[in-house]
Structure 1
Amino acid sequence: MDLTVNDGAATGIADILETWAPALGGDYRGYLNHAIRVVQVADLLHLRAGGGEAELPSALPEFVVAAAFHDLGIWSDGTWDYLPPSIERAERWLRDTGDETRIPLVTTMIDDHHKLRAAAGPLSPVELFRKADTVDFTSGTVRFGLSARDYRAVRRAYPSSGFHWKLVKLATAGALRHPLHPAPMVKF
């Protein structure tokens, strides 16, 4: 499945994350590329589920904002229990930019992006975002029907840049600190 990269989505994510570059430090490029990959994979999953090219997720501001903020609490607040601060940062950004109407959808997209079960219908923004993040988090091991070739193309365009290795280190540290609750962001 050929898909042109939506430069507007990539630029929008980069513009939001520029403010957070100091907090992200050496992980900036890896996190930026992860966020862009999530949106690109959402486009591919959307098309695979029968959605039209005129309504691609990458063209929707909700996907750009959710992608930029969804894991940011790891760096902005230095916590492995990062959903609440990530949501708080997204809400504040939407209020500051006068886009309060998008808060319910963006916060649900972030809050449910680690649900283990379907969060909504196959073409819903919440479900597409959840699946797209899962595809990238697992480095394409879980693809929800997306071809390995398509995921590799996205990954080539936006390489990991150490992002996945950083997650391994953070997950290990989280498990050692809180062995009874090593993944507070996961929901059923």
Structure 2
Amino acid sequence: MSSDSLRDQVEARLAPWHRQLGADRAAYTNHVLRVLALCDLLAADQQPRPSAREEYLTAATLHDLGIWAAGTFDYLAPSCDLAMAWLSSIDRDDLAGLVVSMVDQHHRIRPAGPPHDPVEIFRRADAIDVGRGLLGWYGVSPAARRDLMKRYPAHGFHRTLVRLTARRLRTNPASPLPMVKW
């Protein structure tokens, strides 16, 4: 699948939330595209590639969307609900269990399964992008990482995460990162 075609698919899934995403739309879209590209790199031996599979497209596009759609930093449940609604709308309820696990476990600290499992591939891909390597690179080369950032610039995505975390810390100091699981 070409990069433009993948972007079109992601944009189509995000279209209902363009207003809520507002100024963060380009940043979030590129985060989704980087995560999908990282899934492809982490599962290079799998065919079809993750970015061409509905479970990855749905999980990647909707995994953090609850931040904007539900207006909360405790966004896993709203994001899971969005994923289930999307899958139902395209008659792919058969993927609901897997996609909900991918979304719900994507901020898990410990592995979510063996390295080839879709939930673990997705968790690692998001950790690479969000953590900018602080949580590990899982074998993704520095050249590949640089290429992804050139192809899909951050547009302030990481600054937005820091700002949201700081706001949550001020309002809920006992639970600054409610999406993190062990």
> TM-score if structure 1 supplies the norm length?
0.92
- What's 1:124 paired with? 117
Which amino acid in 2 is paired with 1:181? S
Q: Which residue does 1:184 correspond to in 2?
A: 178
Give yes or no for the alignment of 1:114 onto 2:112: no
8 Å CA contact 1:83–1:185 kept in 2: the answer is yes
> Equivalent of 2:30, from 16, 33, 43?
33
Contact 1:140 1:148 in 2 (8 A): no
Residue equivalent to 2:20 = 23
Give distance in 1, aligned partners of 2:2 and 2:142: 17
Instruction: Give deviations 1:56-92, integer Å, cap 9, x for gaps.
Output: 1111111111011000000001101000000011111
CA distance in 2, matches of 1:119, 1:66: 15
1:88 aligns with 2:81: yes
Question: 2:153 — aligned with what?
Answer: 159
| In the alignment, structure 1 residue 99 sits paired with structure 2 residue 96 | no
CA contact (8 A) 1:17 1:68 kept: yes
Deviation string 1:31-57 (CA, Å, 9 cap, x unpaired) is 00000100001111112xxx24x3311
- Superposition RMSD in Å: 1.3
Amino acid paired to 1:31: Y
Structure 2's unaligned 5+ residue stretches are none
The 2-side partners of 1:9 and 1:157 are apart by: 13
Matched, 1:147 2:144: no
Distance 1:120 1:5, change over 3 A: farther
Q: Which residue of 2 aligns with 1:138?
A: 131
- Counting matched residue pairs gives 181
Quote the sequence identity (%).
39
For residues 4-44 of structure 1, what are the alpha-carbon distances to aligned partners after superposition, in whole Å with 9 as ceiling and x for unaligned? 85444332111101111001001000000000100001111
Gaps of 5+ in 1: none
- How far apart, in 2, do the equivalents of 1:132 and 1:36 lie? 11
